[in-house]
């Protein structure tokens, strides 16, 4: 028997992101984000779906927070929609209705004894900034710095924990290299520019946070991965090193004061660094956030752009086709612990997609999700015992929501959403969390 035994002060949270859950896309003075525009492009999002209504959390946050609190969660990780706060993107005009929404959300959390963990950027860039070149331009990083200043000024007294950027890798590569996410560009040169500008944006946000003198800690969330080599052939080991450099170290290293990995230059990629940038990017942060879903083995592949590709796994896969590899989380957190200089670490997302449906008795028996969470929580509990400074875990997601290019087809929630009625139904995994949080996590 294994006990999912966690320290008393371990932070149990659940997470979402603005565009994925809020809806009210044309209300409250909000402008278009790149996701509004991208989702109107034929073929960009499954079924032509979009976030216009999503889970309508903009109107239903009270009901959602009450349910989170009832289940025992202590922190809610949400993101702040830039197009709600500064609809013009970079004109400094603050929209009071946008600010009021997030203040009300934070106050509601506090009224339920919960903490507010706000991500400043979870992918919904104002379209007006994309029209000026988006993340390929330095201007966007500077504009994010200004947006962050506004967030600290307007919400600094109600937010308990700040995350600058969610998953820089997806912003840069899915958005500007693979084109699967907004703005849908496929250009490696632009993607590398985006890498640097998103890192710079993080640094500028941290700088603004320090200047504002806020007590609430600030960090960043990476979907880092330390993929294993598919075999111990030398070329596969090299392939794994390239994958690590391009997918993880270009983000982690500059922030942690180690500059860009040398391999980036060797691969012929040029990063648009200006003097002083690395100092801005590497300012001290207070914690590291890690999003983890899966890990794939990589092998040398002479036909791939960077001479590596992922190989099949033997593990079960989720509805995303992602292999279930709890060992990858162990490897990753151990590595993060080793490079993080003792900084607290939070798993800021972890979760499992499944074709869930409510049965006639009103239940959702999502046993595979429970198995997934149990395995990953067991890794967390073990690592804490081994001395990794892991301080909290956020379940992705609280509710089923708009899963980016997959639209509403992929359900990650521990609470089911019937999109026709907006009815919330806790799945069995929600009750599993309730019991683990309450200390009854034996299995």
Minimum Å gap between C-beta 207 and ligand FCB is: 24
The residues in 104-163 that bind ligand FCB, with binding defined as CB under 6 A, are none
Catalytic positions, please?
A: 167, 349
Minimum Å gap between C-beta 17 and ligand FCB is: 5
Q: Which residue has the tokens 């590291």?
A: 288
The single residue among 404, 408, 432, 433 that binds ligand FCB, judged by CB under 6 A, is: 404
Reading the block at residue 32, the tokens are 């278009």
**Residue 403 interacts with ligand FCB (CB under 6 A): yes or no:** yes
Interface segment toward ligand FCB; rule CB under 6 A; list 43-51, 189-197, 209-217, 396-404: 396-404
**Residue 396 interacts with ligand FCB (CB under 6 A): yes or no:** yes
- Count of residues that interact with ligand FCB, criterion CB under 6 A: 12
Minimum Å gap between C-beta 125 and ligand FCB is: 14
Give the three-class secondary structure for 296. coil
On the CB side of 208, CA atoms within 13 Å amount to 25
The single residue among 76, 412, 432, 433 that binds ligand FCB, judged by CB under 6 A, is: 412
Closest-CA residue to 415 (of 388, 433, 403) = 433
**Residue 170 interacts with ligand FCB (CB under 6 A): yes or no:** yes
**Residue 319 interacts with ligand FCB (CB under 6 A): yes or no:** no
CB 289 within 8 A of CB 348: yes
CB 250 within 8 A of CB 263: no
Closest-CA residue to 393 (of 345, 324, 340, 341) = 345
Closest-CA residue to 397 (of 36, 8, 79) = 79
In terms of CB distance, is 16 or 282 closer to ligand FCB? 16
**Residue 223 interacts with ligand FCB (CB under 6 A): yes or no:** yes
In terms of CB distance, is 173 or 308 closer to ligand FCB? 173
The residues in 265-294 that bind ligand FCB, with binding defined as CB under 6 A, are 291
Ranges of beta strands (E only) in 85-136 are 115-121
d(CA 322, CA 317): 5
CB 50 within 8 A of CB 36: yes
**Residue 19 interacts with ligand FCB (CB under 6 A): yes or no:** no
CB 71 within 8 A of CB 113: no
Minimum Å gap between C-beta 354 and ligand FCB is: 12
Q: How many other β-carbons are positioned within 10 Å of the β-carbon of residue 142?
A: 15
The residue ranges that bind ligand FCB (CB under 6 A) are 17, 20, 166-167, 170, 223, 291, 349, 396, 403-404, 412
């Amino acid at each position: 028997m294994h006990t999912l035994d966690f320290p008393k002060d371990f932070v149990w949270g659940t997470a979402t992101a603005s565009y994925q859950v809020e809806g009210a896309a044309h209300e409250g003075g909000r402008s278009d984000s790149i996701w509004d525009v991208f989702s109107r492009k034929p073929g960009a999002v499954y079924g032509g779906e979009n976030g216009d209504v999503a889970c309508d959390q903009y109107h239903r946050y009270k009901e959602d927070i009450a349910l989170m609190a009832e289940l025992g969660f202590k922190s809610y990780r949400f993101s702040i929609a830039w197009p709600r706060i500064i609809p013009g993107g970079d004109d400094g005009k603050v929209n009071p209705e946008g600010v009021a929404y997030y203040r009300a959300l934070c106050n509601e959390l506090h009224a339920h004894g919960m903490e507010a963990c706000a991500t400043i950027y979870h992918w919904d860039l104002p379209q007006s900034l994309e029209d000026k070149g988006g993340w390929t331009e330095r201007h966007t990083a500077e504009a994010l710095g200004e947006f962050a200043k506004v967030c600290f000024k307007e919400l600094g007294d109600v937010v308990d924990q700040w995350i600058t950027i969610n998953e820089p890798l997806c912003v840069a590569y899915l958005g500007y290299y693979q084109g699967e996410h907004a703005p849908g560009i496929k250009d490696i040169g632009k993607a590398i520019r985006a890498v640097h500008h998103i890192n710079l944006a993080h640094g500028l946000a941290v700088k603004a946070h320090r200047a504002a003198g806020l007590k609430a800690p600030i960090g960043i969330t990476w979907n880092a991965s330390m993929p294993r080599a598919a075999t111990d052939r030398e070329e596969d080991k090299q392939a794994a090193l390239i994958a690590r450099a391009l997918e993880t170290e270009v983000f982690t290293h500059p922030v942690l004061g180690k500059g860009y990995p040398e391999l980036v230059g060797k691969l012929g990629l040029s990063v648009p660094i200006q003097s002083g940038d690395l100092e801005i990017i590497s300012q001290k942060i207070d914690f590291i956030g890690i999003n983890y879903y899966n890990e794939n083995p990589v092998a040398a592949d002479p036909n791939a752009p960077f001479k590596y590709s992922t190989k099949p796994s033997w593990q079960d896969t989720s509805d995303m086709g992602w292999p279930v590899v709890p060992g990858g989380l162990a490897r990753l957190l151990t590595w993060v612990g080793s490079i993080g200089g003792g900084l607290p670490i939070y798993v800021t997302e972890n979760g499992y997609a499944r074709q869930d449906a409510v049965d006639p008795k009103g239940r959702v028996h999502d046993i595979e999700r429970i198995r997934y969470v149990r395995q990953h929580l067991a890794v967390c509990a073990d690592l804490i015992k081994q001395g990794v400074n892991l301080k909290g875990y956020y379940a992705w997601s609280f509710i089923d929501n708009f899963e980016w290019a997959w639209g509403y087809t992929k359900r990650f929630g521990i609470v089911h959403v019937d999109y026709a009625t907006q009815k919330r139904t806790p799945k069995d995994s929600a009750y599993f969390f309730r019991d683990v949080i309450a200390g009854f996590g034996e299995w």
